[in-house]
Amino acid sequence: MLARARRATRISRVKYLEVEMEQTSDDDTKRLQDCINDLMSVQALPAVWSGQEPSQIVATLLDVLVCVLRLDFAYARLSAAIDGSPIELVRLPQGRTPEGRPEQVNRVLEGWFTADRPDAPFVAPNPFGDGTVSVAPFRLRLQDEIGILVAATTRNDFPTATELILLRVAVNQAVIGLQEARRLAEQKRTADELERRVAERTEHLSAVNEELRREINRRKWARDALQQNQQRLRAILDNSSVLMFMKDINGHYLDCNSSFENLCGLSRGQIIGKTDRELFAAEQAAQYESNDREILKTGTPLEFEGTALRPDGLHTSIVSKFPLRDGEDRIYAIVGIITDITERKRMEQTLQENQQRLRVALESSPVAFTILRAARDDRSHIIDFQWLYLNPVASRILGRAPEELIGRRVREVLPNGWEPPGLFECFVQVVNTGEPQEIEVASGHNGINGWFHNIAAKLGDGVAVWFTDVTERKRAEEELRRSEAFLAEGQRISQTGSWAVKLPSEDVFWSHEMFRIYGLDPATTKLSQKMAFQLIYPEDRLFVKQAFERALRDKSDFAVEHRAILADGSIKHLHALGHAVCDASDNLTEFVGTVVDITERKRAEQALRQSSRRIENILESITDEFNAFDREWRFTYVNEPALKSIRRAKGEALTREKILGKNVWEVFPEHVGSVFYQKYHEAMREQKTVYFEALSPVTGRWVEVNAYLSEEGLSVYYRDITDRKQAEEQRAYHAHLLENVHDAVIATDERFVLTAWNKGAEQMYGWRADEVLGRSVLEVVPWDGSAEERAKADRELAETGRRRAEIITYRKDGTPVYAEGRSVALRDGQGRITGYLGINRDITERKRAEKERAQLLRRLMAAQEDERRRIAREMHDQFGQAVSALTLKLAALKGAHGGQTELGEQFLALEAIVKQLDADVDFLIWEMRPTALDDLGLVVALSNYVENWSKHFGVHAEVHASGMEKDRLTSEVETVLYRVTQEALTNIAKHARAGNVDILLERRSDHVSLIIEDDGIGFDAEKAFATVPTGLGLIGMRERASLVGGTLEIESHPGNGATIVVRIRAPLGPKREEQNEKIEYSLS
């Protein structure tokens, strides 16, 4: 009824508002409609909240408010008044990142959460961004206040009257929903409490009944157990090899077991009642009586080791005697137990002798040996090992005497503890599993250097370890691997495989290229002469065999061409060469040779037959093995592939007749207890079909097995899946490798559609793999280059198969990334491109560092030029005035005293000195910073400088300029060219001993060139750049050129002069200021 009334109310309100909206403008109508829709959405919330938890109610309310009112965030905090759990939530607009946390709102609005907080809207700092937000706070109340709700946005007019109404309605609806949730929670608690009490009462009654039943059973069991124990005790006594007897205090036997009867040669009836003197020799009887008297006297047990002569010889025994007491603690009998330890004594003696032999063997062994005991913590976890023994070789390798190590832990003695990694874990695994382990480790710590081969076996709660120094072997293996790598690369390039056959053992060796030629896997192929001849085409085997046997007989070389059948069924034409190797006694010890793939030469004439054989081989290779068994596990049928497999496994030329009727578990005892045995029996026992994949213990290969029930017993199909398993493992390994590479690894098909995208690529570009796979690589990783540059790069990749470049790409968010990229083309067996693989490394930080370095150098050189201008100006102002004043003073003195003969020559000398000083000052000022460079341009400044330099140093020098009458270069480029020329001429004056220097300055459409050439003594340019003290000037010149995007090259050889070539990009067209801006941008 309430719901119907609410709907009627809403309908009437809507109708009323529709009439009102007809009388308002379109804008007002739209706002009113939006308000009504929002109000209806808020009023519908209680229906959504029905049966939900308070946290779900609050979360839904916040999401609705953020969406409806377009809030920047909405926040709510509830006390523990509803279900005992405080709730604190914040919601931001959908898609906003990063997600907001309630703590951020707490920090900003902490003051408002106090008791005297305002209820009216206010302005506060934005906890999730810059600026401020308008905040509308509300209290949530039931009977008392249960929490607060905050709505906030950056709009200044928030909240409007309409929004305030919507917020209050939403708060009221939330209070209603929370009140309903509290009522439901209370009902649930009441029901749970009632159910718990009923369960407790039921459990208590059941426990009482169970306890009564157990007590009755215990008493019955105790009575039966007593009777059984008495019978069991007698059986134990009579069947024990230990002699047992009981005598009274007067020495008369009361009871004995069967072993005692056998010792005495009498029955129990004949022994009972007699004394030791009646049963044993006088001397033994006297000793036994003495023992009894001591026990009766002291009242304590007695144990001793004694010997006695028996019919079969002298025996050693441990005799234990103890008194029996009655209820008043009086001794009424003596019980004796005699344990024959003759055999144990003999074994102890043997053990001592063996231990002595073992110690001598270990002490004299050339192999290091040590025994370690596990050291455990409170939870029985192994935390270290303690030395118990080590032989002299181990002591020498460890560099410590045995007394320094025995009894101490490894971490106590060795500074670096368990180094190298893996050794401690290996020993722990041996102790925990009991399985021996082998491990080779390299050590460079604790004074122990080298490679060591360790064999660890469990010994008690520890390990026995044999270890040998294999450093030399490792070094030899490394050298061998390196040599083999060189040889393999040469063979791969020439498609030539190498082989060797040891004689007379006929052991076969193949190079990696041989396996590739024959299409075989080195890891799974077992080489032999028989296998090698099986690879030869059947029609060619006879003449190849004859050629080989003739070479064996004559100890001569041979050469044959033959066909070979590969594992995939294809046929290759091969040219084989063999060379006989003899020892000093002319005994043939080895054949070595090569095999060259000449298939391409033979392919045209043999294409049809090769195709036919390949099809036959493929059809033969896909045939499954099939066996049938009766219910007694006897073979009833074996097909040809299965028969071949059995022959290979047994190593015998078995026929089908010899196999049929035999028990499979007798033919292959290795299968007993294996998964094959279990699954076959399961199929028989449960009368069902079974399927499984397993590693065959007979062939060592993976097979897929389908076993079906038949009328006779079981039919089993086998399919070899070893290659598939290896491929799966290889794929898993490659996938793991790619996922752990930090560089971005990207693969595409031949159309540049992405097919692989590792985690390094996700981190570098911000795209997830599921977002990019199937898309064009240029969409995801755009390259900041022209279409022509991309086409050129693609052509290079397609033609050469590889490409390496530094490029600018962009992340998902648009930020640029400098990347060092390597790309290779992936080809199929026919050489066709099937895709591309790219490895990109993020070098953004390196580029940023290079840019900062270039900017720093530019600022440094600019500062140098400014300082040169300042010094030149001060020198001109100060030295120029001083020299002018000196000249005037000297002229005045000469006019006043020039008539004196003795002063005339001195005045002339002084005038010459002042003139030279004036020239030197002018030259220094010109070198520091010529004003002509700024005022008249590079050509004039350079011509003036070269002219002055030529006069100053007496070396003929000329400047040739071409194309420089066009737009001037930037001031930065002109300064660089001027300084490079200045530095080059300074080096020529100091070192070149040149007679002529030519300077060529040429302006082209896109660059400017500066060439400085002399006919001096020349130098080694590479050594000049490599030698820091003499090469700083050259390095500075190259640095200056690179700062403006230019290059500097030097060509010089001793005795042939030197040529310096500078090229700087300087396109024609833009004004000088625009060029400055472009250069600044390129360096920023």
Q: Residue 718 — pLDDT band, cuts 50, 70, 90?
A: confident
Tokens at 225, concatenated: 């157990």
Is the domain defined by 365-469 classed in CATH 3.30.450.20? yes
The band of 39, judged by pLDDT with boundaries at 50, 70 and 90, is: low
More confident residue, 902 or 293: 293
Confidence of residue 4 (pLDDT cuts 50, 70, 90): very low
The predicted pLDDT at position 429 comes to: 92
For the domain made up of 2-184, give the CATH fold: Beta-Lactamase (3.30.450)
Q: What is the rounded average pLDDT of the residues 904-925?
A: 68
* 382 phi and psi angles, rounded to 5 deg: -75, 120
| pLDDT, average across residues 502-519 | 84
Taking only the tens place, the pLDDT of each residue in 222-243 is 777 777 777 777 777 777 778 8
Fold of 475-598: Beta-Lactamase (3.30.450)
d(CA 285, CA 280): 6
Given pLDDT bands bounded at 50, 70 and 90, which one contains residue 1030?
Answer: very low
Phi first, then psi: give them for residue 842, nearest 5 degrees.
-75, 115
pLDDT for the residue numbered 428: 92
The pLDDT tens digits for 685-714 are: 999 999 998 888 888 888 899 998 888 899
Asked if pLDDT for residue 620 goes beyond 50, the answer is: no
> CA neighbours within 13 Å on the CB side: how many for 701?
18
d(CA 696, CA 674): 9
Provide the pairing of β-strand 1046-1052 with 1058-1065: antiparallel
Q: Answer yes or no: CATH 3.40.50.300 is held by domain 240-341.
A: no
pLDDT of residue 649: 83
Residue 625 clears pLDDT 70, i.e. is over it: yes
Looking at residues 204-225, what average pLDDT do you find? 82
Whole-number pLDDT of residue 28 = 54
Please report where in the chains the tokens 């030279």 appear, as a residue: 916
pLDDT in tens, 44-89: 566 556 666 777 888 888 888 888 888 888 888 887 545 556 788 8
Could you tell me which of 291, 327, 46 has the C-alpha nearest to residue 171?
Answer: 46
CATH number for the domain whose boundaries are 623-725: 3.30.450.20
- In this predicted structure, which of 189-193, 409-413, 617-621 has the lowest mean pLDDT? 617-621
Q: Which of 161-170, 228-237, 1046-1055 is predicted least confidently?
A: 228-237
Per residue in 101-132, pLDDT (tens digit) is 887 887 777 767 665 566 678 888 888 888 88
What pLDDT does residue 606 have?
58
**Quick one: pLDDT at residue 735?**
58
User: In this predicted structure, what is the pLDDT of residue 996?
Assistant: 93
Question: Residues 240-252: what's their mean pLDDT?
Answer: 88
Reported in sequence order, the residue ranges of 633-675 that DSSP labels E, i.e. its strands, are: 635-638
**Contact between residue 415 and residue 392 where contact means Cβ atoms under 8 Å apart:** no
Kindly tell me if the per-residue pLDDT of 221 is higher than 80: yes
| Spatial separation of the C-alpha atoms in residues 232 and 240, rounded to whole Å | 12
**What pLDDT score was predicted for residue 376?**
92
pLDDT at 617: 45
**Residue 812 in this model has a pLDDT that exceeds 80:** yes
Beta-carbon neighbour count of residue 1020 at 10 Å? 12
Long-range contacts of residues 904-908, Cβ cutoff 8 Å, at least 24 apart: none
Question: Is pLDDT at 1013 greater than 90 in this prediction?
Answer: yes
The answer to whether the CB of 934 falls within 8 A of the CB of 971 is yes
The pLDDT score that the predictor gives to residue 17 is 44
Token pair for residue 269? 């009836």
With a cut of 70, say whether residue 368 has pLDDT above it: yes
pLDDT at 1080: 34
DSSP category for residue 459 = -
Q: Region 775-792: what's the mean pLDDT?
A: 77
CATH number for region 741-842? 3.30.450.20
User: Angle, to 10 degrees, between the axis of helix 901-928 and the axis of helix 938-953?
Assistant: 140
Q: What's residue 239's pLDDT?
A: 77
pLDDT of residue 381: 92
Res 1078: pLDDT: 35
Question: In this predicted structure, which of 519-528, 757-766, 859-868, 884-893 has the lowest mean pLDDT?
Answer: 859-868
Q: Encoding tokens for residue 835?
A: 């895709």
C-beta of residue 127 within 8 angstroms of C-beta of residue 107 = yes
What's the average model confidence in pLDDT over 533-557? 87
Helix 161-239 and helix 26-43, axial crossing angle in degrees, nearest 10: 30
pLDDT at position 1010 is 92
Q: Predicted confidence band at 745 (pLDDT cuts at 50, 70, 90)? A: confident
Average pLDDT in the chain: 78
Are the beta carbons of 499 and 594 closer than 8 angstroms? Answer: yes
* 313 or 1061: which leads in pLDDT: 1061
247-261, 470-484, 1064-1078: which has the minimum mean pLDDT?
Answer: 1064-1078
Same fold, 365-469 and 741-842: yes
| One-character DSSP codes across 327-391 | TTS-EEEEEEEEEE-HHHHHHHHHHHHHHHHHHHHHHH-SSEEEEEEEEE-TTS-EEEEEEEEE-
What confidence tens digit (pLDDT) does each residue in 555-599 have? 889 888 888 888 788 888 888 888 888 888 888 888 888 888 888
In terms of average pLDDT, the best of 303-312, 416-425, 769-778 is 769-778
- As a whole number, mean pLDDT of residues 504-515 equals 83
Q: Which CATH class is domain 936-1084?
A: alpha beta
Q: Band the pLDDT of 16: cuts 50, 70, 90.
A: very low
What pLDDT, on the 0 to 100 scale, is given for residue 3? 45
What pLDDT band is residue 997 in, cutting at 50, 70 and 90? very high
pLDDT band for position 1031 (cuts 50, 70, 90): very low
What is the average per-residue pLDDT within 862-888?
A: 65
Select the more confidently predicted residue: 542 or 36. 542
Mean local confidence (pLDDT), 752-772? 85
Looking at the chain, the whole-number percentage of residues with pLDDT higher than 90 is: 8
pLDDT at 725: 78
CB contact burial 1054-1069 (16+ within 10 A = b; e otherwise): eeebbbbebbbebeee
Examine the pLDDT at 21 and tell me if it is beyond 50: no
Per-domain boundaries in the chain? 2-184, 240-341, 365-469, 475-598, 623-725, 741-842, 936-1084
Tokens at residue 993, please?
A: 């001993």
Q: Of 971, 1003, 1005, whose CA–CA distance to 1073 is shortest?
A: 971
d(CA 409, CA 373): 9
